[in-house]
Structure 1
Amino acid sequence: MLGITTLAALPLGNMLFIIIAFLLLMLILKKVAYGPLTKVLDERADKISSDIDGAEVARQEAEKLASQRQAELAETRQNATKVVNDAKASAQKQSDLIVSAANDRAASVSQQAQTDAQKLKEDAISGAKNDVAALSVAIASKLMQKELSLNDQQALIDAYISDLETK
């Protein structure tokens, strides 16, 4: 209460001066301090908002890049699997061709060997027939020339066989 009575006791001129000085001080503070302070606070709020928006954009971009990387990785794995499977199929096909060629070659060699063996057999039989025929003719001609005893026949056969062995 003391302050109220003191205020009323002030002369009107002083009171008017104090009110004008107070209003003038408020006006100066508004221009000098409050305006720049609100400007700084607004700028700071804008910067924080911009940083938050930038962080959100960066997060979305990072998620997008991570998603793309995952897709590319999956595609690369799929391509690698395809290449491996193609290589296996190609190797199996090549292996089958080599085995088939080897089997064909073996069959051809076997057939040729059988043909050669048959020809040799036929040649041997033909040669034996010719030898037997020649032997028969030789024996018959010798028999015609003379009548042979058993010892003479044996000697003639042995001589002919030794003659064949030397040929």
Structure 2
Amino acid sequence: MEQLFGLNPQLLHDTVLSILAILFLFTLMSYLLFNPAKKMLKDRQERIKNDIDTARKDREEAAAVKAEYDAKIKGIEKEAEEILSEARQKALKNESRIVDEAKEEAVRIIKRANEEALLEKKRIMDEAKQEMIAIASMMAGKVVTASIDTSIQDALVEETLKEIGESTWQS
């Protein structure tokens, strides 16, 4: 046999056999080890991509929720202002109603006091009339017993008036 490139045929045979064995082992290893490793890396890459997409969606949802909550807070502030405004209006209405009721009550009290004053005045006038009647009776009795002339009678009236007092007679 001839030597190829100055190599021994046994060495050449061993080299070709080693190359074929390495090629076979490489093919076998790629099938058994490299493909699962590639698949695992691809799965990991997809999982990371999904996680990034999920995080992006979560961030967008969080921004939307935040915007919604901000809008609700503004709505709540407006609603609170409306409630306060309604409460103020009700308070003003209640205030005016209470003031009106108090005025009406004051008018009733004044009216009742005036009525009581009129009744008291009538009672006092009746008492004065009774006293005048009593005085007139006393005067008549004195006039009858004395049987005197008009000058004495005028003196008796003056005396009787002094007895009952000028303030009672003039009121």
How far the C-alpha of 1:90 sits from its partner, in A, is 1.4
List gaps (5 residues or longer) in structure 1: 1-6
Counting only pairs closer than 5 Å after superposition, residues 58-137 of structure 1 correspond to structure 2 as: 58-117=58-117
Partners of 2:121 and 2:88 in 1: how far apart? Answer: 48
Bigger relative CO (Cα 8 Å, ≥ 6 apart):
1
The aligned counterpart of 1:146 is 148
Partners of 2:100 and 2:41 in 1: how far apart? Answer: 87
How far the C-alpha of 1:133 sits from its partner, in A, is 8.6
Q: Which amino acid aligns with 1:153?
A: A
Q: Deviations over 1:43-62 (max 9, x none)?
A: 11011111111211221222
Question: Which stretch shifts more, 144-153 or 101-110?
Answer: 144-153
Aligned length: 158
- Provide the TM-score with structure 2 as the length reference: 0.67
- Provide the TM-score with structure 1 as the length reference: 0.68
The aligned counterpart of 1:29 is 29
Q: Which amino acid aligns with 1:64?
A: A
Going from structure 1 to structure 2, the CA distance change for 1:29 and 1:134 (only over 3 Å counts) comes to same
How far the C-alpha of 1:101 sits from its partner, in A, is 0.9
Q: Percent identity between the aligned chains? A: 24
How far the C-alpha of 1:120 sits from its partner, in A, is 5.1
Q: Which amino acid aligns with 2:27?
A: L
Alignment RMSD (CA, Å): 3.8
